Structure 1
Amino acid sequence: MTLKIAFLASDAPVAQTARHALAGRYGDVPPEKADVIVALGGDGFMLRTLHATQDLRAPVYGMNRGTIGFLMNEYSEADLMDRLKATEEEIINPLSMTAMDRQGEVHHALAINEVSLLRAGPQAAKLRISVDGRLRLSELVCDGALLATPAGSTAYNYSAHGPILPIGSDVLALTAIAAFRPRRWRGALLPKTAHVRFDVLEADKRPVMADADSISIMDIDWVEIRSDPDIRHRILFDPGHGLEERLIAEQFT
């Protein structure tokens, strides 16, 4: 069976060149009519593609035309149909973020990798953390904090010294960014069903922004985050190179 493919590419010239070559070789259909969506770019473009196509039936297969390409497969113009038919599928549930800014406006966003809170001024942020309605940390003085999914645990979370999570672990990583008080607090592992709330303390002189996969909300008052099981991102990988293998391999590099 010949698969109907939609090719999407980032603005990078190398990605646009790849899209032109692949579309000429394999044909190209609109995403809503595709059996498979092929994303050409880096991890950032892959995240944007997953968000943009989450209501479509087609899974997404990425080919790296960016830098690191953790969520991508190797680029090749040859044998694409055979590669697509042999892929392994991973299902990812995003985080749902609700944030209220200091003007009282409520914002909503989804994050496949992580939701992060970052100081937006010269002074360290002060955050209060509650989990499932129970106060867990009355005051965290820090540059920020984040809640990461297993798929995003090797991104910003790992750079902030958070743990790498196995893809099927049903766990979220709560990680501090440059914690000052409590100085030794290194974060927590939470069940995927956890409902996490951050309240910003002294927000007038210690402003904080929230970011969900590069969707930024400035001057926030509080943020609530939970995993959304009703949204299922389908990502395709070449055999033996799925997210589980990549997450394990990352810990030995």
Structure 2
Amino acid sequence: MTIKLAFVASRGQLANGAREELTRRYGAVPEAEADVIVALGGDGFMLATLHRTQHLPAPVYGMNRGTVGFLMNAYDADGLVERLGLAQEEVINPLAMRATRADGRVIAGLAINEVSLLRAGPQAAKLKITVDGKLRMEELVCDGALIATPAGSTAYNYSAHGPILPIGSDVLALTAIAPFRPRRWRGALLPKTASVRFDVLEPEKRPVMADADNRSVRNVTSVEVRSEPEVSHRILFDPGHGLEERLIREQFV
């Protein structure tokens, strides 16, 4: 059986060299005609590729030609077709962000890893948090807060001391970034179906920006976040190196 491959690469010399070599060895077709899209780069490029190709039926198989490569497989130009035949598939639903700016504009975005709110000035942000229409925190004084998916829980969320979430756990992590009040609040675990709203208190004095993966919105007054089950990202991993294994392994290093 012939498998049709499309190769995409980040701007780095290492990634582009790998694309040239793989194309020469295995041939290449346009993304829309591919059975598998092979992404060459780091995690940031993998996220960008997943977003850009989410309308296509082909899954994405990443090979690390970047730095960390948590979402990537090890690079090896040999035996690629055989590896793809044995690869295991993970399906990820992104987060949907709806951010309202001070000028009234509403900006929508999707995030595979997390939606984060960050202070955009010298003073700490003040946030009000509502979950499924119920007020849960009247005032969180912090550098920011984020909602992370299981796939993104080892990224910014983990750096902010949030929990690592197993794939398939159907929960989201709500994590504070450098919280000042309440000082000992460590965040919360929420059902995947939860709808979370952040209202920015004193937005002129304490401006806040919102990020959905790599999409930034400045001067937000409120941000609503929920899981988007209508969008599915298909990612391929080598056997024994899927997201579940990586999430477990990350907790023992």
**TM-score, normalization: structure 2?**
1.00
1:185 alignment partner in structure 2? 185
**Take 2:208 and 2:25, find their aligned partners in 1: how far apart are those partners?**
48
SS in 1 for 2:81: helix
SS in 1 for 2:62: strand
For residue 13 of structure 1, what is the amino acid of its counterpart?
Q
Q: Over residues 222-247 of structure 1, what are the superposed CA-to-partner deviations in whole Å (9 max), with x where a residue is unaligned?
A: 00000000101000000000000000
Quote the sequence identity (%): 73
**Take 1:118 and 1:8, find their aligned partners in 2: how far apart are those partners?**
32
Q: Over residues 44-88 of structure 1, what are the superposed CA-to-partner deviations in whole Å (9 max), with x where a residue is unaligned?
A: 000000000000000000000000100000000000000001000
SS in 1 for 2:164: coil
2:42 alignment partner in structure 1? 42
For residue 54 of structure 1, what is the amino acid of its counterpart?
Q
SS in 2 for 1:128: strand
1:7 alignment partner in structure 2? 7
**Take 1:54 and 1:214, find their aligned partners in 2: how far apart are those partners?**
16
For residue 69 of structure 1, what is the amino acid of its counterpart?
G
**Take 1:210 and 1:112, find their aligned partners in 2: how far apart are those partners?**
15
Q: Over residues 136-161 of structure 1, what are the superposed CA-to-partner deviations in whole Å (9 max), with x where a residue is unaligned?
A: 00000000000000000000000000
**Take 2:245 and 2:199, find their aligned partners in 1: how far apart are those partners?**
36
For residue 157 of structure 1, what is the amino acid of its counterpart?
N
1:120 aligns with 2:115: no
**Take 2:207 and 2:102, find their aligned partners in 1: how far apart are those partners?**
10
- Equivalences, count: 253
1:72 alignment partner in structure 2? 72
SS in 2 for 1:20: helix
Alignment of 1:74-93 (within 5 A): 74-93=74-93
Structure 2 residue ranges without an equivalent (≥5): none
Distance apart, 1:204 and its partner CA: 0.6
For residue 183 of structure 1, what is the amino acid of its counterpart?
R
2:144 alignment partner in structure 1? 144
2:236 alignment partner in structure 1? 236
**Take 1:105 and 1:200, find their aligned partners in 2: how far apart are those partners?**
15
SS in 2 for 1:22: helix
SS in 2 for 1:145: strand
Structure 1 residue ranges without an equivalent (≥5): none
Q: Give the aligned CA root-mean-square deviation in angstroms.
A: 0.3
**Take 1:30 and 1:108, find their aligned partners in 2: how far apart are those partners?**
29
**Take 1:31 and 1:57, find their aligned partners in 2: how far apart are those partners?**
10
SS in 1 for 2:69: coil
Q: Over residues 8-43 of structure 1, what are the superposed CA-to-partner deviations in whole Å (9 max), with x where a residue is unaligned?
A: 000001000000000010001100000000000000
**Take 1:151 and 1:84, find their aligned partners in 2: how far apart are those partners?**
21
Alignment of 1:191-230 (within 5 A): 191-230=191-230
**Take 2:131 and 2:176, find their aligned partners in 1: how far apart are those partners?**
15
**Take 2:214 and 2:32, find their aligned partners in 1: how far apart are those partners?**
25
**Take 1:133 and 1:33, find their aligned partners in 2: how far apart are those partners?**
44
For residue 162 of structure 1, what is the amino acid of its counterpart?
G
**Take 2:47 and 2:241, find their aligned partners in 1: how far apart are those partners?**
18
For residue 191 of structure 1, what is the amino acid of its counterpart?
P
1:102 aligns with 2:96: no
SS in 2 for 1:172: strand
1:22 aligns with 2:35: no
SS in 2 for 1:127: strand
Distance apart, 1:89 and its partner CA: 0.2
